[in-house]
Amino acid sequence: MNSGIKNAGIIFLILLSVILLMTHLVVKEYVIAAKSPRSGESQRVTVPSEKKKQKPQTPKVPKTSQKPQPKKEVKKQDKPLPKEIHLIEPFVSQKPELPNGCEISSLAMLLRSAGISADKMVLADQMPKVPFSSGGYNGNPNEGFVGNMYHGSKDNPGLAVYHRPVANLARQYLGNRVEDLTGSSWSEIEKQIVAGRPVWVITSINFQPVPESQWVNWHTRQGNIRISFMEHSVLVTGYGQKFVYFNNPLSDEGNSRADKSDFISAWKQFGSQAITYGPK
C-alpha cells in the first residue's frame, strides 16, 4: 500500500515536471519571436485598430464682402459730322402741271437720286387721293393726297399729302430701301446727307415757323388733326452752320437755301416728317 502511494507520487511529480518544462519552452519561444531584429528588445504585439475614414475636405474659398463689378461697356462715340456739306441732286419743278404737287415733285427728285427714272405725272397718278371734304368730314393727308393736286381753284381745292402715303409710293420703286425717318432728330437728317443721300421733308412755304393763327383744327374720319395751308415739301441736299440747302420744286433750279434755325423749327411743327433711301 505504501509502495503504491509512493509510486503514484513519483508519477505525479514526473508529470508536473513535464508540464512545467513544456510551459517554459512555449513562453521562451513567444518572447524570442517578439524581439526586434535590430535592437533585440521585446516589443508589444498589438492588433492595429481600423482608422476612421475621413471625408475629403473641400477647400474653403475666402468670402469677400465686395461683389464683382460688371465690366463697363465702352460706347463708341459717333464721329463729329462735317460743319457743312452740299449734294448735287436732280431737280424737278412742280410747275406748271402740279401747282399743289410739291410732295410728289420732291419724291420724284428723291427717286431720281436713287437711280430711278421717276416721272412726276406718273407719281401723281399713282398717289392715293381722298376728297377735300365729304359727308361732314375733311380729307386726311395721312391717308392720301387731300383734294385736287392739279389746280387750286376754290371750287375744287387741294391741300397736301403726308409722309406715310409718300413712303408707301416710294416703296413701289425702291422696296425695302425706303427709310421713313419721321419723328427723328435733325441730326439724323444731317447723317443721311453726309452718307450722300438727300432727304424728302415737309416744312413751311416760306421756311419759317408757322404762326398759330395759320393752323386749323381739321375734322377727319380718323379723328381731329391740326393742319396748315402753309405746308410745303422740298428735298434737303445740304446743311451748314447757318443755312439748310434744298431743291425747292417751286423754284426754277435747285440749291436753294434758308435760315437753318427757322427751317428746322417749321419742320418740327409739321411733325419732323422725313423720308430717304438706304444702300442697295
Is the model's pLDDT at 45 over the cut of 50?
no
Q: Which amino acid is at 132?
A: F
- Dihedral sign (CA 225, 230, 235, 237): negative
Q: Prior bond to 96 cis, omega within 30? A: yes
Q: Mean pLDDT throughout 99-112?
A: 98
Q: What is the DSSP letter of 8?
A: H
Which pLDDT score, from 0 to 100, does residue 38 have?
43
**Model confidence pLDDT, tens digit, residues 241-264:** 999 999 999 999 999 999 999 999
Is the model's pLDDT at 270 over the cut of 70?
yes
| C-alpha grid cell, residue 172 | 413701289
The answer to whether the CB of 245 falls within 8 A of the CB of 235 is: no
Contacts of 162 (CB under 8 A, 6+ apart): 141, 142, 202, 271, 273
Q: What is the DSSP letter of 75?
A: P
Q: Pick from 168, 248, 242: which is nearest to 203 by CA? A: 248
Q: Mean pLDDT throughout 259-274?
A: 98
Q: The whole model's pTM is what?
A: 0.73
Which pLDDT score, from 0 to 100, does residue 72 have?
58
Rounded distance between C-alpha atoms, residue 272 and residue 280, angstroms = 25
Average pLDDT score, the chain: 84
Domains and CATH numbers, the chain: 85-277 (3.90.70.10)
The answer to whether the CB of 98 falls within 8 A of the CB of 160 is: no
DSSP 218-268: EEETTEEEEE-TTEEEEEEEEE-SSEEEEE-TTSSSS-EEEEHHHHHHHHH
Q: What percent of the chain has pLDDT over 70?
A: 72
Confidence at 151, pLDDT banded by 50, 70, 90:
confident
Other beta carbons less than 10 A from residue 27's beta carbon: 10
Confidence at 52, pLDDT banded by 50, 70, 90:
very low
**Model confidence pLDDT, tens digit, residues 64-100:** 455 556 555 555 666 888 999 999 999 999 999 999 9
